[in-house]
Every structure is written in structure tokens, then in C-alpha cells.
Amino acid sequence: MFLQFFLTNKSQETNPFFSSTSNHAPNRRTESHYVYDVFLLSIASRSSKYCTITIIKPTQRFSSAIGSMIACATEKGVCFLGFIGQKKLEKHLESIAKEFNAILLPGKNQHLTLVKKEMNEYYQGSRTKFSVPLDIIGTEFRKKVWNELLNIPYGKTISYKEQSERMKRPKAIRAMATANGANRISIIIPCHRVIGSNGSLTGYAGGVQKKSWLLNFELLNS
């Protein structure tokens, strides 16, 4: 079931998306959906500028083998893919709204349709590479870090030290780890494949348990 929400700080009574006569009105929604709506609405309520934004980024929520995921996309590609309940989810969504000068609205476009399809195939063990276009905002350094992550093969892992050496930045391990943590495209940009030099599973936005599951799953299916 896809989660429906609309970021605005206008009164719900004057918003067609909340009108009882609107085709967009929620229907038989569960309590958890309303709770998540409140969470998303709280992001927009912090700034009155959201009332005048006209650009809309479609968003969808879907289930996966290790928990519900949420994806956002622009006309160019997927700009966010993460887990419901992950660390700093609210901050990520808030940043996306600001950086793209956008509001987030449930909906569909070709990129969301494709990312859901490819993620389902990934969790079935039949997909090891992704073709869905991405629309990423970040510093040049972070983009280089994320691009290097794409070179880590499915079913393999590298250490932060190895990652820094591949980029010819051996003294930038800490900055690289920070960039990995700022990755907004979970699984597709595989920051989960970077581990400690001693083999330990270091931090992961979705949680160390999810990181462990993903690595074991990929190893079994590679």
C-alpha cells in the first residue's frame, strides 16, 4: 500500500488534497499512515515558503524483505531511496525539499515505477545491477565517493581504507566515511558494502542489522 501525503502548512480545510469531496481524499487509511502523514507535514510546517512552491516530487512507499522503503524521484531520476525509520530520515526528506525547491507528494513517474520493479527483483535475488536513472545533489567530493561505491561488485566488500586508496585519497578516510553516511540512495549506491578494516560492520543509516542482512543476502546470491 502506498503512503499518501502532501507537504504544506495551509489549512487542510482549504487544501483539495484533504477535502472530503476530493478524489485525492484518503480512504480507509490505517492509523500508522496518519502518524506518518503528521511526520511529513511537520517537515513543511517549519517554513512558510513551502506554501508557494509549485515543483512537485512524486514519492512512493513500498514493502521490502527487510522493511518498508520510501522512494522520491524527479523528472530526471530517483533522488532518494531509504528505509522507513532509518536514521535522519526526516533530515534527508527536509533537505531534498529545500535543495530541489520542492514539495513531496505521493504519485508515480517512470523512475518510481522502475525503481520499485528493480528493488523487487533485487530482493528476489535476480538483480545485481540497477539501471534506474538517479538525480543526485552533493559536493563534487561526495559525488566522487558515491561513484566509487558503484564500482564495488555485488557480493563483495571493501574497507574504508581500500575505498580511500582507490580514490587516491589515503588521508581522507574520515571524510569518505562521512560521505558514505550521507548517501541518499540506499542499496543502489551500495554504501553497505564498505566495512571496517577488521571486518566489523560499522554504522549504516538503515541499521547494522539491515547491513548484515544485505551483505549475507548478496553473498548467498552471488
**Tens of pLDDT, residues 23-43:** 333 334 443 444 444 445 444
Judged against a pLDDT cut of 60, whether residue 216 lies above it is answered with: yes
Radius of gyration of the chain from its Cα atoms, rounded to whole angstroms: 18
Catalytic residue among 51, 72, 79, 191: 191
Band (pLDDT 50/70/90 cuts) for residue 55 is low
Does domain 140-221 fall into CATH 1.10.10.10?
Answer: yes
Residues of CATH 1.10.10.10 domain(s) within the chain? Answer: 140-221
pLDDT for 93-141, tens place per residue?
889 988 988 888 888 899 999 999 999 999 999 999 999 999 999 999 9
Residue 79 is a catalytic residue: no
The tens digit of pLDDT for each residue in 170-189 reads: 888 999 999 999 999 999 99
